Amino acid sequence: MRDRQALAIVTTVHRLSTADALQSSDSDYRGLFEAAHDAILIVDPSSETVLEVNQRACEMYGFVRHEFLGMRLDLLSEEVEKSRSLIRETARGGLSTSIEAVHLRRDGSKMLVDIHSSVINYQGDWAIVTINRDITERERTRIELETSLSLLQATLESTADGLLVVDTSGKIVTFNQQFVEMWRLPNELVDQGNDAEVLDFVRDQLLQPQSFLAKVRQLYQDPEAESQDLLRFKDGRFFERYSKPQRLGGKSAGRVWSFRDITERKKAEEATRHHAYHDHLTGLPNRMLFEDRLRHAVAQATRGHQMLALFFLDIDRFKTINDTFGHAAGDRLLVEVAERLTSRKRSGDTVARLGGDEFLILVNNLRRVEDAARVAQGVLEAIRPAVVIEGHELHVTTSIGITLFPHDGADGETLVKNADIALYRAKDQGRDGYQIYAPDMNARALEKLMFENSLRRAIDAHELLLHYQPQVDTTSGQITGVETLVRWRKKNGELVMPGDFISLAEDAGLIGPLGEWVLETACTQGRVWHDAGFNLRLAVNLSVHQLQRPGFLDTVSRVLETTGMDPHCLELEVTESAVMQDPEQGIRSLGKLREMGILIAIDDFGTGHSSLSYLRRLPVTTLKIDQTFVSGLGQDDDVGPIVKAIIAMGHSLGMHVLAEGVEREDQHAFLRAHGCDDMQGYYFSRPLALDAMNELLHNR
């Protein structure tokens, strides 16, 4: 277009010059010359001076016509050599030539000029005509456009989203590199630009390709529609897909697709959702998720007239394990139990951790009550195999309470409550077993709860008291020691024996304060007897829960210090079975007590099946023969040799041997004849209240 315009102007100028019409203002050609939109300069090629200009040249450069005439052309150009070269090349070749050069206006401002030059016949001689167009604004616009396009391209490439632009027929117009990388498009496929192959490659990666294509077709049918949806990939990725119409001049020109990879966000959301409904330690469903599943299971069972079972279980003596080996070991045990429970469940059933060592199992679609019992038996068997914790082989058991829908409750809350009651009944029956809920369990549970609350108040209300049973020398009959025995006298005067409340105190977590009260009260009285001149050995029974309780050794040390009790006169008794629950821990704990000077007695010896190798390592000073053996003396021929062997073994290990439960003369005679050191039992004295014990000591 620019070349055709230049040719027309040159032709006009040529005609003007040949007709000498440039001197005539009436000439039609002169009018054309002056009306041209470009500046026209006729230049003498030899002197490179201006011979003629049109009005547009005057306006463009800021000179009047007479100032132009005779002006050297290089005065108009900042690029002098470029302007001279243009004139020389045009004159030499006689051909049209064009350049872009920076020219100067009269006021010194600059402009970019597009210059076309040709040779013409001017007034009988040849000259150079230059057609100059100010392209300063056009160039500025071009630079701005290039800058804008560059910025747009940089923006497209810097965004984290994959962008794709298509026309109204779905043909690819442009895209950014992020789009290629997100969809993992091969370079050769991109270079080919085959839209159908690109679409096939994209579709094959998706989990639901038909849904993807349906959305694309829907949007092409409705060019003005906008869309946002989620794409799921076969490899687990997630993309958010956005689409908006592209408009040019108010008309639809295509569509822009934007893809954002939200895989990590979806994983984080899923992890958050999982944590909200699952136990962080075992990964099992937590209470919230279990209650939701139980609610749905009850609704479904109601509609289908089906039976389901709920199992409430916990780990027997878990607190002892936790206190002995620490919480990290306890956590490992919980994980192991969770894995064993999960391995036994059927598809569709739920195993959940309620908290602590408590677990729930929901079993759906049972046909008979016997099916629930069979499942419970399987759970017990799954838990029984030994678990190795920190090198120790532990034999763990569980107790289970079972409720059945619809027999034992019409809703989940009632089922869980009654299963909890049945669980405590299972514990009362000796643990490592299960109990199916029965209505009368509620009354027993309430009675037990009331009893527990009364015991709590008894400790604070000073309803507890100690009785004392003398221990005497077998040969001389002198009182050598006293065993302290706790009693609970209720406000109504009823006297409760320890066998009726010690296990309850252990289960309720009251054995700590109860045991501490017994130890402090006994040591206070022991110091009184010592100051009165009675050189007695004071025996105090220990529960295994006390021995394994954190801070127990500190408690003993504090009691000795506050009461002034001589540790060499204090004997702490622990049962053989309690020690054998964890012999290594027993060796460590009892050893520290022995280092304090305290005497150690193994109570009920012969009933706990202790290993002689462990017995030899225990820091025991006294061996107490269990009364079940003593009661058989003179009545069972097999008992005598066993008692003699225990006495001989104890003495061979350097231990003091004491027989408990002596009630008859023949028992006394047998024990004395075979060298038993001390005895206690009704043959000498029943356990006595403090006043009676003081009277006995003074009379002896």
pLDDT at 27 > cutoff 60? no
| Domain-embedded: residue 150 | no
Q: What CATH number is attached to the domain comprising 18?
A: 3.30.450.20
What is the mean predicted confidence (pLDDT) over 417-422? 90
Rg (CA), the chain: 53
| Domain-embedded: residue 149 | no
More confident residue, 29 or 551: 551
What is the mean predicted confidence (pLDDT) over 38-56? 92
| Domain-embedded: residue 396 | yes
> What is the pLDDT at residue 147?
60
Statement to judge: residues 311 and 414 lie in one domain: yes
110-122 and 97-104 beta bridge pairing: antiparallel
Angle at Cα 125 formed by Cα 123 and Cα 131, nearest 5°? 80
pLDDT at 20 > cutoff 50? no
CA 510 – CA 464 distance, rounded (Å): 13
Q: What share of the chain is helix, strand, coil (3-state, %, to 5)?
A: 50, 25, 25
- Domain span including residue 211: 159-265
Number of domains in the chain: 4
Statement to judge: residues 350 and 235 lie in one domain: no
More confident residue, 600 or 428: 600
> What is the pLDDT at residue 567?
94
State which amino acid sits at residue 28: D
Q: Which of 265, 286, 306 is the last residue of a domain?
A: 265
* Close Cβ partners of 501 (under 8 Å, ≥ 6 residues apart): 451, 455, 488
pLDDT at 471 > cutoff 50? yes
More confident residue, 144 or 117: 117
More confident residue, 6 or 91: 91
> What is the pLDDT at residue 431?
83
Q: Which of 107, 139, 171 is the last residue of a domain?
A: 139
Q: What CATH number is attached to the domain comprising 342?
A: 3.30.70.270
> What is the pLDDT at residue 346?
83
Q: How far is CA 235 from the centre of its chain?
A: 23
Q: Which of 265, 291, 320 is the last residue of a domain?
A: 265
* Nearest partner of 547 among 555, 559, 536, judged by Cα: 555
More confident residue, 574 or 455: 574
Statement to judge: residues 85 and 24 lie in one domain: yes
| Domain-embedded: residue 408 | yes
pLDDT at 383 > cutoff 60? yes
Statement to judge: residues 216 and 305 lie in one domain: no
Statement to judge: residues 298 and 260 lie in one domain: no
Lowest mean pLDDT among 112-116, 234-238, 577-581: 577-581
- The pLDDT tens digits for 192-237 are 767 778 888 888 899 888 888 888 888 888 888 888 888 999 998 9
Statement to judge: residues 386 and 295 lie in one domain: yes
> What is the pLDDT at residue 566?
94
Angle at Cα 668 formed by Cα 667 and Cα 670, nearest 5°? 65
Statement to judge: residues 688 and 601 lie in one domain: yes
Statement to judge: residues 249 and 362 lie in one domain: no
Angle at Cα 640 formed by Cα 635 and Cα 646, nearest 5°? 140
Whether residue 78 contacts residue 103, with contact meaning beta carbons closer than 8 Å, is answered with yes
Statement to judge: residues 7 and 108 lie in one domain: yes
Statement to judge: residues 323 and 415 lie in one domain: yes
| Domain-embedded: residue 153 | no
Statement to judge: residues 467 and 409 lie in one domain: no
Lowest mean pLDDT among 13-27, 154-168, 352-366, 453-467: 13-27
Lowest mean pLDDT among 276-290, 597-611, 634-648, 651-665: 597-611
What is the mean predicted confidence (pLDDT) over 141-164? 68
| Domain-embedded: residue 152 | no
> What is the pLDDT at residue 444?
62
| Domain-embedded: residue 170 | yes
| Domain-embedded: residue 619 | yes
Statement to judge: residues 55 and 96 lie in one domain: yes
pLDDT band for position 687 (cuts 50, 70, 90): very high
* Nearest partner of 194 among 226, 171, 162, 169, judged by Cα: 171
pLDDT at 412 > cutoff 70? yes
